[in-house]
Structure formats: C-alpha cells, structure tokens
Amino acid sequence: MRELKKYRWKQVFLFAVIICMIFAGRLHAILADTYTDGRIVVKHEELKVKKNGQYIQGQHPYELQGNSITNALSYIYFEEKGLLKKTGTLRVFQDDEIRKLVPLIIQAFSVATPSQVVAVSSFSERMLLTDQQNYCILFIFDNSLNIVFSRVHMFQTYNDAMSEKKRYTATRENPVRTKKSRFWKLVPTTGQRLEPHHENWLVIDLSDKIYQQPLAQRVGTVEEKIKVGTSDLDARLKKLEEKMGAADESKTPQPSTPANELREDSKMKSKLTLLREMVNEGIISAEDYDHKKAKMLREAMEDMSIKEQLQEIKDLKSEGLITESDYAEKKKELLDRF
C-alpha cells in the first residue's frame, strides 16, 4: 500500500512538472513573439497569405542581413493621391524608424515559422501630439522579401494612437486582403516590383546589388543632415549653386517698387522651388534636395531676424517646400533662441 501511494505521488509530481513546463513554454512563446522599441511593434502573426490564387507559406525562419533589410526599407517610396497630394515620391520609412526596426525585424525573421508573417506597426515624422503610422506585414517567398502595406503615413492624434495600442493585441489586420488605398500607392524602384493587381504589395529581390551595398549613412535632424554630406554630393550641389547664381545674374535688373517687392519671392523659396522641379524631372535625387534644404535652413537665413525667419519657414511649409517636421524643428530652435 505504501509503495502504491508513493508511486501515485510520483505520478502527481511528474504531471505537475509537465504542466509547469507546458505553461512556461506557452508563456515564453507569448513573450518571445513580440518585439518592441518605444511605440514601434514587430510581432509574429498567423495570417493566411494568398498568392496567384493559392495559399502559401513563408520560407521561415530566415536569416536577414542588416545591410540588406536597412537598404530595402530605405528604398521604399510612395506617391500620394487626391487633391491635396504632395508632388513627387516620398519615403515610407524615416531614418529613426529604420534604425529601430532593423534589429527587431531580423530577430523576428530568425525564429518565424512558415505559417507566420512578421507584422510591423511604426510611426514617422512625430510632431507634437500627432503621428503618421505605417502598418505592414513582411514574409519571404520564392527567395524574395514581400512587404504588404495597409497604412502608409496615416495621420493619428495622440488619442487615436492610444486607442490603437489598446486594441493592437486583439485585432489581426491582414494587408494582403487590401489591393489599394484611396490616399497613396507604392512606387517600385530598382530590384522591386508590385504584386499583380496590388498597389500596396512590394516584392523585393534582396540579391540585387543595390541591397548588398554597405549601409549609406542616413540621419534625420537638420544638424545631422548638414554633417552627412559626401564630397561627391557637395561638389554636385556647388556646381548647381553656381548655375543658379549665373541664372540670377543674367536676369535684367528691374527698378525696385513696392509692387515688385510684394511679387518677388525670397531667394530661399526660389532656390527650393527650382530644386524641387529638378527632383521631379530626375536631374537630382530626393537626397540631394534634403541635404541642400537642411543646409539652407541652417545657413541661408542668418541675416534675418527671428520674426522674419519664422515667417519664412511658415511660407515654405505652406508651399510644401519643407515638411511639417522641418518646420517644427526649425521653429523650436528659433523660439529657444528668442
């Protein structure tokens, strides 16, 4: 009888150990499949992905290289739609987002299962109490990186963001079921193509040499953008400035009248307008424009009063020549100096 009781106690003990191990394993799985950095969230999702009429599974787990995924995220562009759209192409992910996203995405892919995708929720161009949100899923199929978006730079207030955070774990948004947006569409570049019948689904060939290149130094603030300029970029911009200066000198001077002064745009606005036209025509890149814009915001208004500078950047923002984040950053700097 004693031996029987002893045997039963051993069974109960082993059963308890097994239950604890199962619970611990489940708890570990719950904690391990979500990776965060501030308000950026990268997690595994069990979502069905249909491609060419058939459900597929990803080639996971997958070891991504840091330079490949960084370059891939850096070269994702979109165009806005609608009457109030900005002209030209815009980057989906900003520099601060990419720096936070890359290690989280690499980690998520390294342990993802074939039935899982990597879901990304991030925010860009933070301005006071507002954000612009990106939401997408990533998976590897046919040796290519697939990125499918359901939100690109979606405007959110602080309350919207908090509500989103609360319901994030309860919802499973599937961007694959979306084919396009009324407000934006992705623009493929080198080594990229759109999935047929989708404006929100990029297929990226990571073996393309552009994604194998060493990381380009990318920075976000005005101060950093000035420091980052390469000698090649500075040389090209210097030649551009000389051409612009020669064009100004070739104009026949006209008598200065109050009416002329009212019609005449500032030199900074004229230069940025010309640079924007060159970006749209493909003469210079968006990076060239951003570098020159940052340099002008720092140096071109030194002979103006703070009040005049505030009015200048307000005009530039209304014309779409600088972004909301450029305006907020410069305004804060000027007010701090006031």
**How much of the chain exceeds pLDDT 70, in percent?**
68
Q: Which pLDDT band holds residue 18 (cuts at 50, 70, 90)? A: low
Q: What is the SS3 assignment for 91?
A: strand
DSSP result, 206-218: TTSHHHHSPPP--
In this predicted structure, the answer to whether residue 197 has a pLDDT above a threshold of 90 is yes
Long-range contacts (CB closer than 8 Å, 24 or more residues apart) made by 259-266: 266/312, 266/315
What does the alpha-carbon distance between residue 248 and residue 230 come to, in Å, rounded to a whole number?
A: 27
What does the alpha-carbon distance between residue 124 and residue 183 come to, in Å, rounded to a whole number?
A: 17
Task: Report the half-sphere exposure of 210 (CA within 13 A, side-chain side).
Answer: 12
In this predicted structure, the answer to whether residue 43 has a pLDDT above a threshold of 90 is yes
DSSP result, 103-158: HHHHHHHHH--TT-EEEEEEEEEEETTEEEEEEEEEEEETTEEEEEEEEEEEEEEH
Asked if 126 and 325 count as a contact pair (C-beta separation under 8 A), the reply is yes
Lowest mean pLDDT among 167-171, 271-275, 278-282, 305-309: 167-171
Task: Report the half-sphere exposure of 247 (CA within 13 A, side-chain side).
Answer: 10
In this predicted structure, the answer to whether residue 175 has a pLDDT above a threshold of 90 is yes
Task: Measure CA 244 to chain center.
Answer: 32
In this predicted structure, the answer to whether residue 116 has a pLDDT above a threshold of 80 is yes
DSSP result, 166-190: HHGGG----GGG----SSEEEE--T
**286-299 and 267-280 helices, crossing angle to 10°:** 170
Residue with tokens 């774990």: 169
What does the alpha-carbon distance between residue 110 and residue 146 come to, in Å, rounded to a whole number?
A: 16
Lowest mean pLDDT among 63-72, 91-100, 127-136, 241-250: 241-250
Q: Which pLDDT band holds residue 275 (cuts at 50, 70, 90)? A: confident
Q: Phi first, then psi: give them for residue 209, nearest 5 degrees.
A: -60, -25
What does the alpha-carbon distance between residue 159 and residue 180 come to, in Å, rounded to a whole number?
A: 26
What does the alpha-carbon distance between residue 221 and residue 151 come to, in Å, rounded to a whole number?
A: 25
Q: Which pLDDT band holds residue 10 (cuts at 50, 70, 90)? A: low
In this predicted structure, the answer to whether residue 64 has a pLDDT above a threshold of 80 is yes
Between these two residues, 274 and 85, which has the higher pLDDT value? 274
Q: What does the pLDDT average to over 288-316?
A: 82
What does the alpha-carbon distance between residue 311 and residue 204 come to, in Å, rounded to a whole number?
A: 43
Point out which residues pair with 139 in neighbouring strands: 146
pTM (global) more than 0.75: no
Between these two residues, 313 and 155, which has the higher pLDDT value? 313
DSSP label of 1: -
Asked if 16 and 86 count as a contact pair (C-beta separation under 8 A), the reply is no
Lowest mean pLDDT among 1-15, 88-102, 105-119: 1-15
Lowest mean pLDDT among 82-96, 160-174, 265-279: 160-174
Q: What does the pLDDT average to over 92-121?
A: 93
Asked if 149 and 141 count as a contact pair (C-beta separation under 8 A), the reply is no
